[in-house]
Amino acid sequence: MSHQEWITKQNDTKPLEAILSDEDGPVNLTGSTVVFSMWDAEKAIKVDERPVTLVAPLVGSVKWPPVAAETDTVGTFRGEFQVTFTDATVVTFPHNGYIAIKILAEVT
Protein backbone atom coordinates (compact mmCIF):
# COMPACT_ATOMS: atom_id res chain seq x y z
CA MET A 1 0.00 0.00 0.00
CA SER A 2 1.30 3.44 -0.84
CA HIS A 3 0.29 5.25 2.32
CA GLN A 4 1.55 4.09 5.72
CA GLU A 5 1.25 7.40 7.60
CA TRP A 6 -1.21 10.28 7.41
CA ILE A 7 -0.98 13.50 9.39
CA THR A 8 -3.80 16.01 9.52
CA LYS A 9 -5.07 18.78 11.77
CA GLN A 10 -8.04 18.66 14.08
CA ASN A 11 -11.39 19.11 12.23
CA ASP A 12 -9.72 19.08 8.77
CA THR A 13 -11.53 17.25 5.98
CA LYS A 14 -8.81 16.82 3.35
CA PRO A 15 -9.11 13.21 2.07
CA LEU A 16 -6.69 10.43 2.84
CA GLU A 17 -5.70 9.05 -0.56
CA ALA A 18 -4.00 5.70 -1.09
CA ILE A 19 -3.08 3.12 -3.69
CA LEU A 20 -4.02 -0.34 -2.43
CA SER A 21 -1.38 -2.84 -3.51
CA ASP A 22 0.03 -6.23 -2.70
CA GLU A 23 3.27 -8.02 -3.60
CA ASP A 24 2.22 -8.02 -7.28
CA GLY A 25 1.56 -4.26 -7.40
CA PRO A 26 -1.64 -2.17 -7.42
CA VAL A 27 -4.85 -4.16 -6.88
CA ASN A 28 -7.68 -3.98 -9.41
CA LEU A 29 -10.73 -2.85 -7.42
CA THR A 30 -13.24 -2.89 -10.29
CA GLY A 31 -16.63 -3.98 -8.92
CA SER A 32 -15.32 -4.14 -5.35
CA THR A 33 -16.55 -2.33 -2.28
CA VAL A 34 -14.03 -0.65 0.00
CA VAL A 35 -14.52 0.65 3.53
CA PHE A 36 -12.25 2.51 5.93
CA SER A 37 -11.96 2.04 9.70
CA MET A 38 -9.99 4.00 12.30
CA TRP A 39 -9.51 3.50 16.05
CA ASP A 40 -7.42 4.88 18.89
CA ALA A 41 -4.80 3.22 21.13
CA GLU A 42 -7.50 1.86 23.45
CA LYS A 43 -9.23 0.30 20.41
CA ALA A 44 -12.14 2.72 20.63
CA ILE A 45 -13.56 2.94 17.12
CA LYS A 46 -13.61 6.45 15.64
CA VAL A 47 -14.60 5.44 12.08
CA ASP A 48 -16.43 2.14 11.57
CA GLU A 49 -16.30 0.68 8.07
CA ARG A 50 -17.27 3.85 6.25
CA PRO A 51 -17.44 3.49 2.44
CA VAL A 52 -14.67 5.22 0.52
CA THR A 53 -14.46 6.64 -2.98
CA LEU A 54 -12.87 4.53 -5.71
CA VAL A 55 -10.79 7.09 -7.62
CA ALA A 56 -9.17 4.81 -10.21
CA PRO A 57 -10.29 1.22 -9.55
CA LEU A 58 -7.97 -0.39 -12.12
CA VAL A 59 -4.90 0.86 -10.25
CA GLY A 60 -6.22 0.51 -6.67
CA SER A 61 -6.67 4.23 -6.06
CA VAL A 62 -9.06 5.14 -3.23
CA LYS A 63 -9.79 8.09 -0.99
CA TRP A 64 -11.51 8.49 2.33
CA PRO A 65 -12.96 11.98 2.74
CA PRO A 66 -13.39 12.47 6.50
CA VAL A 67 -16.05 14.67 7.99
CA ALA A 68 -14.99 17.04 10.78
CA ALA A 69 -16.46 14.75 13.48
CA GLU A 70 -13.99 12.03 12.39
CA THR A 71 -10.94 14.27 12.86
CA ASP A 72 -12.10 16.26 15.90
CA THR A 73 -10.04 14.29 18.44
CA VAL A 74 -6.33 15.03 18.80
CA GLY A 75 -4.20 11.93 19.04
CA THR A 76 -2.68 8.92 17.33
CA PHE A 77 -4.92 6.43 15.58
CA ARG A 78 -4.66 3.33 13.40
CA GLY A 79 -6.52 2.88 10.16
CA GLU A 80 -7.10 0.33 7.44
CA PHE A 81 -9.04 -0.25 4.26
CA GLN A 82 -11.09 -3.42 3.84
CA VAL A 83 -11.93 -4.60 0.32
CA THR A 84 -14.72 -7.00 -0.59
CA PHE A 85 -14.05 -8.28 -4.10
CA THR A 86 -16.74 -9.42 -6.52
CA ASP A 87 -16.10 -13.08 -5.58
CA ALA A 88 -16.84 -12.18 -1.90
CA THR A 89 -13.16 -12.45 -0.90
CA VAL A 90 -12.28 -9.93 1.83
CA VAL A 91 -8.76 -8.46 2.05
CA THR A 92 -7.48 -5.76 4.43
CA PHE A 93 -4.87 -3.15 3.45
CA PRO A 94 -2.18 -2.60 4.46
CA HIS A 95 -1.29 -6.27 4.97
CA ASN A 96 1.70 -5.57 7.21
CA GLY A 97 0.33 -3.36 9.96
CA TYR A 98 -1.85 -0.29 9.93
CA ILE A 99 -1.92 3.24 8.61
CA ALA A 100 -0.48 5.48 11.34
CA ILE A 101 -2.80 8.46 11.67
CA LYS A 102 -1.87 11.57 13.64
CA ILE A 103 -4.41 14.28 14.30
CA LEU A 104 -2.66 17.43 15.52
CA ALA A 105 -4.33 20.17 17.55
CA GLU A 106 -5.56 23.16 15.60
CA VAL A 107 -4.48 26.60 16.71
CA THR A 108 -7.43 28.48 18.17
> Confidence band (pLDDT; 50, 70, 90) for 62?
very high
Q: What is the pLDDT of residue 108?
A: 74
Residues 13, 75, 105: CA angle, nearest 5 degrees: 60
> Does the structure show a pLDDT above 60 at 57?
yes
What is the average pLDDT across 22-44? 95
> Does the structure show a pLDDT above 70 at 5?
yes
> Does the structure show a pLDDT above 70 at 1?
no
**Where do the domains of the chain lie?**
5-104
Beta-carbon contacts of 60 under 8 Å, excluding residues fewer than 6 positions away, are 19, 20, 21, 26, 27, 28, 29
pTM (two decimals)? 0.92
Q: What is the pLDDT of residue 41?
A: 86
Average predicted confidence (pLDDT) for the chain: 94
What is the average pLDDT across 82-105? 96
Distance CA 44, CA 47 (A): 9
Domain 5-104, CATH among 2.60.40.10, 1.10.10.10, 3.40.50.150, 2.60.40.3350: 2.60.40.3350
Q: What is the pLDDT of residue 3?
A: 54
